[in-house]
Amino acid sequence: MTGILAAPAVRPVRRARPTSLRHRMKGLWPWLIVAPFLLFSLFPIYWIVLTAFRAQDDIFQSPVSLLPSNLTLANIRTVWFGTGPNEPVIYFLWTSLVIGAAATLVGLVLGVACAYAVGRFRIGGSFLPGFILSFRYVPAIALIVPFWMMFRALGLLDTYTGLILIYSLFSIPLIFWLLLGYVEASPRELDEAAYVDGASHWRAMWHVSLPVLMPGIAIAAVFTFIGIWNEFLLAYQLAGNEVTTVTVYLPRLRTAIAELYGEIAAASLLAVLPGIAFAAVMQRYLVRGLAFGGLK
Amino acid sequence: MRGSRRFAWTLATPSLVGLVLVSLVPFLWMTWTAFHTFSPNPTIPPRFSGLDNLWALFADPQYLQSIRVTLIVLVVSLVLKLSLGFALAWALYHIRRGRALVISLLLIPAAIAPLIAGLVWWMLFNTKFGAVNAILLGLFGIEPIQWTVSMPWALIAIIVATVWQSVPFVAVILLGGLTTIPLEVLDASKVDGASRWRELRFIVLPLMRPFFLVASLFMIIDLLRLFEMPQFLTSGGPGNETVVQGMYLFKLGFTFFDLGRASMMSLIYILVLTAIGLIFVRLMRSRSAEA
Amino acid sequence: MSGIAFHGVRKSFGAVEALKGIDLEIPSGTFTVFLGPSGCGKTTLMRVLAGLEAQTEGDVLIEGRVVNEETPAERGVGMVFQSYALYPHMTVRENLGFPLRMGDKPKAEIAARVDEVARVLQIEHLLDRRPSQLSGGQKQRVAIGRTVALDRRLFLFDEPLSNLDADLRVEMRLELQRLHRRLRSTMVYVTHDQVEALALADLIVIMRGGTIEQVGAPDRLYDDPANLFVATFLGSPRMNLLQGTVEDGGASGRIRLVSGDAIPAGPLPLRAGEAVTVGIRPEDLSVDSGDLALPFEPEMTEHLGANGYAYGRVAGARATVQLARRGGAFVAPEGRVMVRADALRLFGPDGARLRAPVRGREALAS
C-alpha cells in the first residue's frame, strides 16, 4: 500500500480555532480561584500596615474605611522609640533576635551533628531515626508545667540561658528531620575520599561534608529561627520580666484602658517582617523539605 | 574507617541527652504528678490519688466544654482546610508563570506568629471598628455582627483565623502531590473518555490519598495545639464558650495551680496525639503497600 | 475519503514552531509510522491527531470529518503511551475496564469484555495485580489491552517499545503486527528507530524539523529516497557519501569526485561546477560485481557473525562496505570496490535527489 502526499493548497486552510477570547479564557480559570485566596491571605497584612500608619481617628471610625487616608507616623514612632509607659519595641525585637539566633546556632550544632551521625553511619539501626523524629510531635503546652518547675529549681526562669537552652533542644527534631534527607542524598564517597587523603572524621565532616550540606543547613536555620521568633508559650511562662521577646510583649499593648490598635499594628508590623521574608524562602524549600522528610 | 562508630555516637549523644532531658524527664515527672493531688498550701505534700484526677476531669464541665469546642473547631477547620487547600492546589497546578511568587505571597499568613494572627483577626472582627463588619455592611448590607462576644460567631472567627493561617500550607503539600502524578496518566484518562470531573474523582483524588493523609496529620496536630491564637482572638469568650483544650490546660496549671489535674490533662493529650500518630502510620502503610 | 488527513496543520509552543504546515493523507486500515530524530515533531503531530494538543492552524480529519473541536474519546482514538501510563492505584482488571466504565457500559458487559481482552493478550493471570507488580512487557500488554478494550477507530502508539529490552522488543513488534492484522484498523506509530519503522510500517512518514521529508512504503523510501536526509536516516550502516562536482551535465556527462575519480552520469539538471553528492549503500559495494570500479583503501574489518563490514576509504571518502561470504568466509575487497550503476544515488547541492540514470560500464578513468 502506498500513500500519497495530498496536493498542497488545494483546500483553503482554515483556522482551527480563534486565538482570541475563548482561548484566553481557558488559560485564565486557575487565576479565578487563586485571586480570592490571594486577597484573603494578604488583606490582614494590608490591614496591619494600614492601621500602623493610620491616625487614631481613622482607626476608630465605625464603620471603618478600607482605604488609606490621613496617614501618620505617630504609631510607628511610639512603638519604635517608646513614649510614656511603653518601651520601644526595638528593645524586644533585639531580645527575640538574640535568643533566636543563639538557639538556632546551638540547635544546628546539635541537630546537624546528629543527622550526620545517623544518616552517614547508620547508628541506632532503624530505631533511632524514628525515635528522634517522634519528638517532633511533643507539644510544649503539655510539658509546660514540669518545665516551669524545673526552671525554677535550676534558677533558669527569666534568663536568656534558659530560653536559649530549651529552644535549641526543642529545635533538634525538626533540624534532624530536615537534614537527614540531605545527608542521605549527599555522596558517601566524598567522606571516604577524604579519609583516604588522610583526614580524620572531624576534618572530613568539617571540610567536606558540611559545605555540601549548606543548602539543607540554611533551610533548617531559617525554619528554626522563625519558629523561635514566633513562639509565645515558653517565652511567656518561662520568662517575661527581664527577658521579654517581642511576641510576649505584643499582648501588653492591649491594656484595660485603651485598645492601642495603632500601636499593636505598628509593633506587629515589625514582628512579622521576618515571617514575610521567610515566606519567600519557605516556598522554595517547603516542598523539597517535605519530599526529603518523606511522608513519614 | 576505624573509630567511625565512636565518632558517630559522639556526635549524636549530646542531642539524644538533650532530647531526653527536655522531653522524657518532664514527661515522667508529669506522669507522676498526674496521679497525685496537690494542695494549694505548699507546706502540705502531694498525696497519691490514683485516677482521682481523671474522674475529676470527666466531671468538670469546663473540661468537657473545652474538649467539645476543640472538636468542633478541629472537624470544621480540617474539612475546610483540606477542601479549600485542594481547590487552591488544583488551581496552582494549572498555573505556570508566576506560580512561585504567588505561593510566596500565599504563605505569608503561615509564617507569622499565631499570636499575631489572633491579634489581627481580633482587630478585624471588632464589632465597631473591624474591617469584617465594614465589608459586610458595605457589600451586603448586613448589620454588624458581634463577632468575638457572641456565639456562634466567636467560633466562626476562630475557624476563619486558623483556616487563614493554614490553607496555603495544605495547598503546597497537595500541590507537591499533584506533581507526582505522571502527565501521561492524565493523558490516558482523557483518551479513555474521562471528563474533567471523572478524571478528578477516579484518577487524581485516589492518587492523592497519601498527601491528604500527611496534610491531615499536620493539621490535626496543629489544631489540637491551638492556644495563643484563640486566646487573643476571643479570650475564650463569650464566657467560656470558645475555650479550647490548650487554653484550659494552661488555666488549670497556671491560673488555678491545679497541677494534678493539669498533668492528667496533659497525659490524656499526649496519649491522644500518640494514638493519632499511630493511626496515620497504619493508614499510610496500607496504601504504600499498593503504590 | 476515509482514513486520516492533515490540512495545513501548524503547531507552535510560544515562540517555537513544532509543526510547520503539515499536509498528509493516510488511507484507512494502514499501519503508518511517523519516523524521525527527536524534536522533529512526530510526537506533536500524533498528539494533535489524538486531540491532546490543539493545533494552532489547520484541520485534522478522521474518516472525512473535521475533528478539530472533538476530545480524544469523541474522535474514537486509542493510545498506547511510551511509559504505558497505567493507572497505578488500580488493578489490571480495573485498568482494562476503565475506558468501558467511562463509556458508561453496564457492569456485566465490562467484566465480559475485560476477560476477553485479557484472554487474547494472555494476561489473565495478572488481572488482580497492580502495575507496580508487573514487568515491562506485561505492562506493555496491559496498555495495549486497555486501548483495544473499546472499539476505536484509530490506534496510536507513542514509542511504546523504547523502554523494553532488545529481545522483548522484537517479540512485541510481532505482537503489534499480529494485532494490526487482526483488527484491521488504522494505526499510527511514532518512533525514532528506523529498524522498527521498516519492520512495522505499511507507510512511513519521515519528518525533520517540523516538516515532512518524504512519505511512502518502506521499500520505496529505502530505494528511492527524496533527499539526503531520508537516504542517510534509513539504513544501517549508513549510506556512504562521496562528494564531487559536475563536470558535464550533458548526455555524456561526468561527475568528478573530490578524489579525482570520475563517474559517468547522464543528463543532470545541474550546471558544470555545481556540487553533487553520490550515495552508495554499503551492501551495493562489492568485491567483484558491478559496472564501476572505485579505489578502496581498507582500514579495518569487522566480522559480526551474520554480517561483516570493511571500513576504509572509497575514492577518498570514509565508507563502509558490507561483506559477502564466499565458501563460508567473509571476503574483503582490496584495492578497489565495484558498484552497479543503478545503485548510485545522486543528490544536488541542496540535498535533493537527482533522479537521473547513471550510464555506462566504464572502468576507472582518471
Residues A148 and A187 in one domain: yes
Asked whether the beta carbons of residue B198 and residue C102 sit closer than 8 angstroms, the reply is yes
Cross-chain CB nearest to A2 (options C5, C212, C220): C220
The answer, yes or no, to whether residue A5 has pLDDT greater than 50, is no
Residue of C nearest to B180 (CA): C88
Q: Do residues A207 and A194 lie in contact, with contact meaning Cβ atoms separated by under 8 Å?
A: yes
Contacts with C81 from chain B: Cβ below 8 Å: 184, 187-188
Q: Residue A15's pLDDT is what? A: 46
Chain A: nearest CA to B21, how far in angstroms? 9
Average pLDDT over residues A34-52: 93
Residues A96 and A64 in one domain: no
With respect to residue A123, please indicate whether it lies within any of the assigned structural domains.
Answer: yes
With respect to residue B49, please indicate whether it lies within any of the assigned structural domains.
Answer: no
Average pLDDT over residues C281-300: 90
Chain A CB within 8 Å of residue B109 CB: yes
With respect to residue A23, please indicate whether it lies within any of the assigned structural domains.
Answer: no
Q: Residue A279's pLDDT is what? A: 82
Residues A268 and A180 in one domain: yes
Contacts with C23 from chain A: Cβ below 8 Å: 5-6, 8
Residues A63 and A205 in one domain: no
Helix axes of B259-288 and B209-224: crossing angle, nearest 10 degrees: 180
Question: Percent of chain A beyond pLDDT 70?
Answer: 84
**Whole-angstrom Cα Rg for chain A:** 27
Asked whether the beta carbons of residue A13 and residue C58 sit closer than 8 angstroms, the reply is yes
Q: Give domain limits for chain C.
A: 4-225, 237-354
Q: What is the extent of the structural domain holding B152?
A: 66-290
Q: What SS3 class is residue A12? A: coil
- pLDDT tens sequence across C225-252: 999 999 999 998 999 999 988 887 666 6
With respect to residue A10, please indicate whether it lies within any of the assigned structural domains.
Answer: no
Residues A48 and A102 in one domain: no
The answer, yes or no, to whether residue A6 has pLDDT greater than 70, is no
* Spatial separation of the C-alpha atoms in residues B275 and B283, rounded to whole Å: 12
Q: What SS3 class is residue A254? A: strand
Residues A281 and A178 in one domain: yes
Cross-chain CB nearest to A1 (options C25, C30, C205): C30
Q: Do residues C72 and C52 lie in contact, with contact meaning Cβ atoms separated by under 8 Å?
A: yes
With respect to residue A160, please indicate whether it lies within any of the assigned structural domains.
Answer: yes
The answer, yes or no, to whether residue A51 has pLDDT greater than 60, is yes
B95 Cβ contact list (under 8 Å, min separation 6): A30, A31, A34, B102
With respect to residue B45, please indicate whether it lies within any of the assigned structural domains.
Answer: no
With respect to residue B72, please indicate whether it lies within any of the assigned structural domains.
Answer: yes
With respect to residue B275, please indicate whether it lies within any of the assigned structural domains.
Answer: yes
Asked whether the beta carbons of residue C215 and residue A15 sit closer than 8 angstroms, the reply is no
With respect to residue A272, please indicate whether it lies within any of the assigned structural domains.
Answer: yes
Q: Do residues A210 and A183 lie in contact, with contact meaning Cβ atoms separated by under 8 Å?
A: no
Residues A67 and A93 in one domain: no
Q: Do residues C142 and C126 lie in contact, with contact meaning Cβ atoms separated by under 8 Å?
A: yes
Residue of B nearest to C151 (CA): B192
pLDDT bracket for residue A288 (50, 70, 90): low
C202 Cβ contact list (under 8 Å, min separation 6): A1, C30, C31, C32, C217
Cα separation of the two ends of chain A: 59
How many domains is chain B built from? 1
Residue of C nearest to B198 (CA): C102
**What residue has cell string 488500580?**
C90
Q: Which of A42, A72, A102 is the last residue of a domain?
A: A72
Substitution target in B10, B29, B116, B250 with the highest count of A β-carbons within 10 Å is: B116
Instruction: Could you please state the CATH topology (level 3) that the domain comprising C4-225 is classified under.
Output: Rossmann fold (3.40.50)
Contacts with A226 from chain B: Cβ below 8 Å: 111
Residues A53 and A155 in one domain: no
* Spatial separation of the C-alpha atoms in residues B262 and B253, rounded to whole Å: 5
Substitution target in A286, A288, A292, A296 with the highest count of B β-carbons within 10 Å is: A286
How far is residue A80 CA from its own chain's centroid? 24
Which residues of B make CB contacts under 8 Å with C?
182, 184-185, 187-194, 198, 202-203, 206-207, 290-291
Asked whether the beta carbons of residue C50 and residue B191 sit closer than 8 angstroms, the reply is yes
CATH number of the domain at B74, please.
1.10.3720.10
Tell me the pLDDT of chain B (291 aa) as tens digits: 778 888 999 999 999 999 988 888 888 888 888 888 877 677 777 788 878 888 889 999 999 999 999 999 999 999 999 999 999 999 999 988 888 889 989 999 999 999 999 999 999 998 888 899 999 988 888 888 899 888 899 999 999 999 999 999 999 999 989 998 999 999 999 999 899 899 999 999 999 999 999 899 999 999 999 999 999 999 887 888 899 999 999 888 888 888 888 889 988 998 998 899 889 888 887 755 544
Cα→Cα distances C244→B201, C241, C247, C252, C278, Å = 65, 10, 9, 17, 8
With respect to residue B24, please indicate whether it lies within any of the assigned structural domains.
Answer: no
Chain A: nearest CA to C1, how far in angstroms? 12
* Spatial separation of the C-alpha atoms in residues C78 and C187, rounded to whole Å: 9
Q: What is the extent of the structural domain holding A206?
A: 89-294
How many domains is chain A built from? 2
With respect to residue B34, please indicate whether it lies within any of the assigned structural domains.
Answer: no
- pLDDT tens sequence across C144-201: 999 998 888 899 999 998 888 888 888 889 989 998 998 889 999 999 999 999 999 9
Asked whether the beta carbons of residue B290 and residue C85 sit closer than 8 angstroms, the reply is no
Q: Do residues C294 and C255 lie in contact, with contact meaning Cβ atoms separated by under 8 Å?
A: no
Cα separation of the two ends of chain C: 56
With respect to residue B36, please indicate whether it lies within any of the assigned structural domains.
Answer: no
- pLDDT tens sequence across C319-362: 999 998 887 888 888 888 999 988 899 998 888 988 755 544 44
User: Which of C 196-255 lie inside 8 A of A, CB atoms?
Assistant: 202-203, 205, 212, 215-217, 220
CATH number of the domain at A268, please.
1.10.3720.10
Within 10 A of B169 (CB to CB), how many other CB atoms are there? Answer: 22
Residue of C nearest to A14 (CA): C58
Which residues of C make CB contacts under 8 Å with B?
50-52, 71-73, 77-79, 81-83, 85-89, 98-99, 102-103, 130, 132, 146, 150
Contacts with B87 from chain A: Cβ below 8 Å: 33
- What ipTM was estimated for this complex? 0.88
Secondary structure of chain C as H, E, C letters: CCCEEEEEEEEEECCEEEEEEEEEEECCCCEEEEECCCCCCHHHHHHHHHCCCCCCEEEEEECCEECCCCCHHHHCEEEECCCCCCCCCCCHHHHHHHHHHHCCCCHHHHHHHHHHHHHHCCCHHHCCCCHHHCCHHHHHHHHHHHHHHCCCCEEEEECCCCCCCHHHHHHHHHHHHHHHHHHCCEEEEEECCHHHHHHHCCEEEEEECCEEEEEECHHHHHHCCCEHHHHHHCCCCCCEEEEEEEEECCCCCEEEECCCCEEECCCCCCCCCCEEEEEECHHHEECCCCCEEEEEEEEEEEEECCEEEEEEEECCEEEEEEEEEECCEEECCCEEEEECHHHCEEECCCCEEECCCCCCCCCCCC
Question: Percent of chain C beyond pLDDT 70?
Answer: 95
With respect to residue A16, please indicate whether it lies within any of the assigned structural domains.
Answer: no
Residues A123 and A222 in one domain: yes
Residues A66 and A113 in one domain: no
Q: Which of A72, A99, A130 is the last residue of a domain?
A: A72
Please report which helix (H) or strand (E) contains residue A47, including its range: helix A21-52
Q: Residue A256's pLDDT is what? A: 53
Q: If you count residue pairs, one on A and one on B, with CB atoms under 8 Å apart, how many are there?
A: 269
Residue of C nearest to A20 (CA): C56
Chain A CB within 8 Å of residue B233 CB: no
Asked whether the beta carbons of residue A13 and residue C212 sit closer than 8 angstroms, the reply is no
Residue of B nearest to C80 (CA): B188
Q: Give the cell for residue A242.
A: 527581664
Contacts with C145 from chain B: Cβ below 8 Å: none
Residue of A nearest to C5 (CA): A6
Within 10 A of B281 (CB to CB), how many other CB atoms are there? Answer: 14
Residues A241 and A199 in one domain: yes
Using CB atoms, which chains have 3+ pairs under 8 A with B?
A, C
Single out the residue of B207, B218, B203, B226 nearest to residue B280, CA to CA.
Answer: B218
Substitution target in C43, C98, C110 with the highest count of B β-carbons within 10 Å is: C98
Mean pLDDT check: name the lowest of A11-25, B265-279, C237-251, C300-314: A11-25
With respect to residue A67, please indicate whether it lies within any of the assigned structural domains.
Answer: yes
- pLDDT tens sequence across A132-178: 888 887 788 888 888 888 898 899 899 999 999 999 999 999 999 88
Give the torsion sign (CA, C120, C123, C127, C131): negative
Q: Do residues C197 and C218 lie in contact, with contact meaning Cβ atoms separated by under 8 Å?
A: yes
Average predicted confidence (pLDDT) for chain A: 81
